[in-house]
Amino acid sequence: MKGRDILKNMVSSAGDEAAKAPIQSQPQHKPAGAVRAMNLSLGRLGDEAAAAKELRSALAAGDKVVELSPAQIEASFIQDRIPTEKDAALDELIASMRESGQQVPILVRPHPTKDNHYQAAYGHRRLRAAIVLERPVKAIVRQLSDEQLIVAQGQENGPRVDLSFIERALFAKRLEQHGFDRDRISQALSVDKPETSRLLQVSDVIPTEVILAIGPASKIGRPRWLAFAELLRDRAASKRVADAIADDQFTASDTNERFTRLWNQAQGPKASKKDATEKIRTRKGIVLASIERTNKGAKVTITSEAFAQFLDAQMGDLVERFERENASETDH
């Protein structure tokens, strides 16, 4: 039996509405499920297996799957994901839930201050999908302390859903700001203390507004974020990055391209060495010479022997012309 079918059967046994579903309807979904399974990545299959294990544990502990209105559920008090204008994973989930329904319940706790309301520990994307589809949400309701909630949230969203490095770094910072110590942060993120230190190092140096402007940048790993943080310790680099964020081209770029743009700006003029070299060409495009500008001055390289002889013959006149046009600079 496939993992998806196991989940269907488990949810059916736990919820009254699911129990009323006719058994003969299951074969209608098998062909579509089989086709979808062929397109699932190994990571997606691993997610479903982990979700099935979580659901089995919850049901074994006596938890029941209930249906709640999305209007009754609020997000966790600590956000772990960086919102983006385009979320392909959410779009895929919405399509899947529209066709096959919600396969895995979310985990919520009774809201600590609002009657008949709940707070999500994990399953925020499923909640958002249900809101879009205007459907009730299957949920497991469990009494959780703040610490238990963030551990459940981090362990579900860390290894399974694969938060990007910078999302984990920002999540770690938010946990620390809420008073959680590094032991609990490490537990929530399922990482060791050295990795927790690196996450906090990055999120402490890089301003939160810069991180949010870039977005999750899933293709950018730890080494480049650490290097980027070191670059931003320089005030001039931070100023260049802030100016680049205000550029319209930055806003139009996707999240990974945004990081690259700011990375180049943070490195400064040296990153644009090619752009600092000008070619001197004839009207037909033949290169006569090049001028390379550096912090120490400029270097002229003449590639045409004929042009070199021409300059040699005209050098006296050129110097006199320069002196006339720049008298204030040559009188010192």
> What pLDDT is recorded for position 257?
95
Q: The pTM is what?
A: 0.60
> What pLDDT is recorded for position 282?
85
C-alpha 245/C-alpha 203 separation (Å) is 18
> What pLDDT is recorded for position 17?
41
Give the start-to-end residue ranges of the domains of the chain. 3-162, 277-323
The SS3 call for residue 132 is: helix
**What's the angle, vertex CA 290, arms to CA 284 and CA 291, rounded to 5?**
135
Per-residue confidence band for 42, with pLDDT thresholds at 50, 70 and 90 = very low
Asked if pLDDT for residue 274 goes beyond 70, the answer is no
Mean pLDDT, range 241-264, rounded to an integer = 93
Mean pLDDT, range 271-285, rounded to an integer = 69
C-alpha 196/C-alpha 179 separation (Å) is 15
Q: Six-digit token pair at 84?
A: 């983006």
Q: Average pLDDT, whole number, for the chain?
A: 80
Asked if pLDDT for residue 327 goes beyond 60, the answer is no
Strand ranges, E, within the chain: 65-68, 73-74, 106-110, 118-122, 137-141, 277-281, 287-294, 297-302
Phi, psi of 197 (to 5 degrees): -60, -40
Q: What is the pLDDT of residues 149-179, one digit of tens each?
A: 998 888 765 544 468 999 999 999 999 999 9
- Indicate the fold that domain 3-162 takes in CATH: 3.90.1530
Angle separating helix axes 193-205 and 182-189, nearest 10 degrees: 100
Q: How far apart are the first and last CA of the chain?
A: 90
Closest alpha carbon to 100 in 193, 36, 175:
36
Q: What is the pLDDT of residues 101-151, one digit of tens each?
A: 999 999 999 999 999 999 999 998 899 999 999 999 999 999 999 999 998
Name, in order, each residue with C-beta under 8 angstroms of 318's C-beta and a sequence gap of 6 or more: 311
> What pLDDT is recorded for position 121?
92
Tell me the CB-side half-sphere exposure of residue 119, using CA atoms within 13 A.
Answer: 20
C-alpha 265/C-alpha 238 separation (Å) is 9
> What pLDDT is recorded for position 113?
94
Place of tokens 């390379």: 292
Strand partners, 138: 67
Asked if pLDDT for residue 37 goes beyond 70, the answer is no
Mean pLDDT, range 53-57, rounded to an integer = 58
Weakest-pLDDT range from 25-39, 81-95, 292-306: 25-39
Between residues 244 and 282, which one has the greater pLDDT? 244
Q: Six-digit token pair at 97?
A: 């839930």
Residue type, 159: P
